[in-house]
A = this chain, B = another copy of it.
């Protein structure tokens, strides 16, 4: 089939495609629909909804909605993408499998009712396992189609990505066919990325990154142009997340963390400009970075997964030296702000594949200080990041364990309690035993709530329990938790099995009470 590209290519698009022979691949979005079939495995670019394909997924959803045709796909994307794509696909029952992280009401519903087969994995391992072919063993380890959003195609056919990298490089390696969306609503991001091709063992070599601003790759993804079956222009913008302004609680947590940093610097365990910081997704993380922008530490570096809006404040304060991430997870307002000072910001930012940003090798070497928010933590220092009540999936593990497992100091921050409809402190975030473990007691160094900070380094389980209950639990729950610890210790001492005391037959009693009475407050164990 031949398409006259003159009918679908604009000047804005043509100017973004330096390899002129590729102009013959330019087509309309509708012309790409023929490549899709029920049962295919797809890989998309994108990460925490930035840099994902929008034109083709939306057109395909429109098509399925219009025709009622059954089209179900296995969807592999670095992390979450915009609701208008994956969440709408979920609503239209277009998703069979989804790895490894998602956001949206419909997709969460599909996962928790057994319609969508979701798998959850550390984001760095996800990238590798995708490349190794572990998800598509029945297809020789290949993907049928990769859809990649770019901002420019270079003379050699190399792809200059948009606002995220994620697993775009791995997808280009293993996809049989590639469809490229060239987004002309944003400038070319040429020079913003550092793309490293991941090799399979035994051919992996050291990543020679010893500073957050070291570059070891290319500014583009080198691809085999013969794989490209279609190029479309995208006029759609990312649906970036707006975060609320930091509230008093988040700011109290941030203050506790900044006080801790000061103490560590004073003790000589961190340099005066700290060590490279990782800051997770969400409001508390945003508040911590906001606190740093107003704080006393200067010449700070960031080695993280996503850059949220307050990171721009941090740059503007003059205190942030350089930031490395895999995604510009900015709100729509943040994107505008980023573009308005593009030359300035882009000199201080490097976007890398998630297998690099989240790689144990660099996180350990750089001595990253990692901060993430869990669903709940327990008194011995385990954390649940994914499953409410131990069974209901929210979004996924993300990169939390990539960082916390390998950090110089790993920090979990959360409120000490959350409200229910019946009780403003109906849920304690500090429990005897988390209902699901994503991070073990061996991985976490510091727990922070608005109540205070527990430094677990060098403490045995029973001492950790006291430190966490005393410093981090909400006052409403301290007596309940202390009573549990006391009873469990006596019970296990009698059995000479009290390294980490528990009453297994009662340990989830508070969860049961929450289900039945809308609060975790119980009268007795």
Residues of chain A at the chain B interface (Cβ within 8 Å): 97, 99, 109, 111-114, 117-122, 125, 128-129, 132-137, 141, 200-202, 204-211, 267-269, 271, 275-276, 359-361, 364-367, 382, 387-393, 397, 401, 405-406, 408, 435-442, 445, 457-460, 462-463, 489, 492-493, 495-502, 504-505, 507-508, 511-512
Within the assembled complex, what's the spacing in Å between the Cα atoms of A23 and B266?
41
Q: Are B267 and A137 in contact (CB under 8 A)?
A: yes
Q: Using known A-B contacts A205-B210, A390-B502, A500-B391, determine if residue A440 contacts B442 with beta carbons closer than 8 Å.
A: no
Q: Which residues in B have their C-beta under 8 angstroms from that of A504?
A: 389-390, 435, 508, 511-512
Q: Which residues in B have their C-beta under 8 angstroms from that of A269?
A: 132-134, 141
Q: Which residues in B have their C-beta under 8 angstroms from that of A499?
A: 111-112, 118, 387, 391-393
Within the assembled complex, what's the spacing in Å between the Cα atoms of A508 and B442?
23
Within the assembled complex, what's the spacing in Å between the Cα atoms of A446 and B135?
14
Q: How far is the CB of A195 from chain B (nearest CB, A)?
A: 19
Q: Which residues in B have their C-beta under 8 angstroms from that of A113?
A: 493, 496, 498
Q: Which residues in B have their C-beta under 8 angstroms from that of A493?
A: 113-114
Residue of B whose beta carbon sits closest to that of A125: B442
Q: Which residues in B have their C-beta under 8 angstroms from that of A389?
A: 497, 504
Q: Using known A-B contacts A114-B493, A499-B393, determine if residue A134 contacts B360 with beta carbons closer than 8 Å.
A: no
Q: Using known A-B contacts A204-B366, A367-B202, determine if residue A119 contacts B391 with beta carbons closer than 8 Å.
A: no
Residue of B whose beta carbon sits closest to that of A488: B391
Q: 26 A-B contacts, Cβ less than 8 Å apart?
A: A99-B458, A112-B496, A112-B498, A113-B496, A119-B460, A122-B442, A129-B457, A134-B269, A134-B445, A137-B457, A201-B275, A201-B365, A204-B365, A206-B361, A206-B365, A360-B360, A360-B364, A391-B497, A391-B498, A392-B492, A393-B500, A397-B442, A401-B440, A405-B405, A438-B442, A504-B508
Contact pick for A202, options B202, B271, B359, CB 8 Å = B271
Residue of B whose beta carbon sits closest to that of A129: B457
Contact pick for A436, options B390, B463, B492, B500, CB 8 Å = B500
Q: How far is the CB of A277 from chain B (nearest CB, A)?
A: 12
Q: Which residues in B have their C-beta under 8 angstroms from that of A459?
A: 119
Contact pick for A210, options B206, B209, B438, CB 8 Å = B206
Q: How far is the CB of A79 from chain B (nearest CB, A)?
A: 15
Contact pick for A208, options B137, B206, B500, B511, CB 8 Å = B206
How many chain copies?
A: 2
Residue of B whose beta carbon sits closest to that of A393: B499
Residue of B whose beta carbon sits closest to that of A507: B508
Within the assembled complex, what's the spacing in Å between the Cα atoms of A57 and B64?
75
Within the assembled complex, what's the spacing in Å between the Cα atoms of A397 and B132?
28
Residue of B whose beta carbon sits closest to that of A458: B135
Q: Which residues in B have their C-beta under 8 angstroms from that of A128?
A: 364
Residue of B whose beta carbon sits closest to that of A362: B361
Q: Which residues in B have their C-beta under 8 angstroms from that of A439?
A: 440
Q: How far is the CB of A107 from chain B (nearest CB, A)?
A: 12
Q: Told that A132-B269, A204-B367 touch, could you supply 20 new A-B pairs with CB distance under 8 A? A: A99-B458, A111-B499, A112-B497, A112-B498, A114-B462, A119-B459, A120-B442, A134-B445, A135-B457, A137-B458, A204-B365, A206-B206, A387-B499, A387-B500, A391-B492, A391-B495, A391-B497, A392-B498, A393-B499, A435-B502
Residue of B whose beta carbon sits closest to that of A208: B206
Q: Which residues in B have their C-beta under 8 angstroms from that of A442?
A: 120-122, 125, 397, 401, 438
Within the assembled complex, what's the spacing in Å between the Cα atoms of A271 and B202?
8
Q: How far is the CB of A71 from chain B (nearest CB, A)?
A: 20
Q: Are A202 and B366 in contact (CB under 8 A)?
A: yes
Q: Which residues in B have their C-beta under 8 angstroms from that of A211?
A: 202
Q: Which residues in B have their C-beta under 8 angstroms from that of A458?
A: 99, 119, 129, 134-137
Q: How far is the CB of A518 from chain B (nearest CB, A)?
A: 15
Q: Are A206 and B204 in contact (CB under 8 A)?
A: no
Within the assembled complex, what's the spacing in Å between the Cα atoms of A84 and B134?
47
Within the assembled complex, what's the spacing in Å between the Cα atoms of A445 and B458?
31
Q: How far is the CB of A276 from chain B (nearest CB, A)?
A: 8
